[in-house]
């Protein structure tokens, strides 16, 4: 079943064409973005100290196997 355009235009796609093909946006924490890069590591980009804390807690629960890097 398809929906009219006015009902679906507000959907936001987390995986978009921005950046290189080897990067994938996982989630955001405030202004920080958690991105998976080509080598399988996860980078936390543009984060403030409070965003670091939220990201570390989320990663410990849902991505405990992730190797985290910080990039400003």
The answer to whether residue 23 is domain-embedded is: yes
Owning domain of residue 48: 17-71
The answer to whether residue 53 is domain-embedded is: yes
Question: What is d(CA 61, CA 57) in angstroms, rounded to the nearest whole number?
Answer: 6
The answer to whether residue 54 is domain-embedded is: yes
CATH number at residue 42: 3.30.70
At 48-67, the pLDDT tens digits run: 888 888 888 888 898 888 87
The answer to whether residue 2 is domain-embedded is: no
Q: How many domains does the chain have?
A: 1
- Percent of the chain whose pLDDT exceeds 90: 4
Give the DSSP letter string of 9-71: TT---SS-SSS-TT-EEEEEETTEEEEE-TTS-EEEES--HHHHHHHHHHHHHH-TT--EEEE
* Residue 6: how many other CB atoms lie within 10 Å: 7
Q: Which pLDDT value is given to residue 20?
A: 53
Q: Which pLDDT value is given to residue 23?
A: 86
Q: What is the largest CA-CA distance in the chain?
A: 45
Q: Which pLDDT value is given to residue 42?
A: 87
């Amino acid at each position: 079943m398809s929906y009219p355009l006015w009902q679906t235009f507000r959907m936001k796609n987390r995986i978009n064409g921005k950046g290189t093909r080897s990067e994938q946006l996982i989630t955001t924490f405030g202004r920080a973005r958690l991105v998976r890069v080509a080598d399988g590591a996860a980078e936390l980009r543009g984060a403030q100290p409070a965003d670091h804390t939220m990201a570390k807690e989320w990663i410990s629960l849902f991505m405990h196997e992730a190797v985290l890097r910080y990039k400003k």
